[in-house]
Amino acid sequence: MVTKASKTVSAQRFAAVTGASASDAQQYLRDTNYRLEAAIDLYFAQQTAGPRLSSAQEKQVVQSLERLFDDYRDPHAETDVIEAEGALQLFEDLQVDVASVTVLPLSYYLNAPSLGHFTKQGFVDGWMRLGIAPDLLGSPSKDKILQRMQQSIPEIFQAFQSNSPALPLLGKSAANSSEKGLYTTVYEYTFLFARSEGQKNLPLQVAVTFWDLLMPYAPSFDSNGQRPGNPSFTAHQFSLWKQYLSEVAHAQIVSKDTWSQFLEFTYEIDHQFKEHDFEAAWPSVIDEFVEWARKQIS
């Protein structure tokens, strides 16, 4: 039973997370039967998407997005999926270079299960969450929809590059999802996105390919080695890391733990590898890399 006291507490927590007014807090909580997490999700979704749509308007937008999806889906697949050929055409129509890092944050928002694959649900939910719905009312043409999608691409990339808060995916907690920046979120997502089906790790060459795409945009990356202090991970340090994995450690795969911890490592390490804490819970490959790198620098 939802008591008056619990309603008050929920409204206070809602306002603390969202910054919304007390009246807005009460309205969103009423709309979700006082389920706090659902109310927060609804608030952030509607703040992102712009004007609140009626059920009929939302249905109309979903139908427009589904029609567009069907233009790219694999007609021979048993399920509603866009596969490699359709994905290439979609990126071309969106004027997105398939070899660019922009593919990664866009794929994240469309909840792509793997490279070059999109599900209908992820595609529709993603574009709705990216806030284009109000501009798709009135059954716009394919060109109009694509034009509106194209307008979103620079905004997505700017948020990625600045590590601005990531918009929560539908069904995820907005309060939790928005704590991480978009770059950090996409970096973590890329490990799962890049794996082959049924595999727990990334082949080294695949990992290096995605690191080459991602690292120049990391908040810790210092391209010319001129920024003092941390976070300041230089291009030279990154080159040493790749050299160590391939030529010294002869690594064949990269584990999820190594992938995740490497980004944290770039925030912590100094230019000369002098301040590394060997007692911290780093993967052994990172500790061994630091020992080797110190010798290379000295």
Q: pLDDT tens, 110-168?
A: 999 999 999 999 999 999 989 898 899 888 999 999 999 999 999 999 999 999 888 76
Question: Which residue did the predictor score with more confidence, 262 or 224?
Answer: 262
pLDDT of amino acid 178: 46
pLDDT of amino acid 177: 46
Q: Is residue 288 scored above 70 in pLDDT? A: yes
What distance in Å separates the CA atoms of residue 120 and residue 269, rounded to the nearest whole number?
42
Q: Whole-model pTM?
A: 0.80
Q: What is the mean pLDDT of the chain?
A: 87
What distance in Å separates the CA atoms of residue 204 and residue 286, rounded to the nearest whole number?
15
Distances in whole angstroms, Cα of residue 213 to Cα of each of 5, 44, 104, 198, 257 = 51, 30, 9, 24, 19
Q: Is residue 47 scored above 80 in pLDDT? A: no
What ranges make up the beta strands (E) of the chain? 81-82, 118-119, 202-203, 221-222, 233-234, 253-254
pLDDT of amino acid 176: 44
What distance in Å separates the CA atoms of residue 293 and residue 298, rounded to the nearest whole number?
9
For 62, residues 6+ apart whose C-beta sits below 8 A from its C-beta are 124, 128
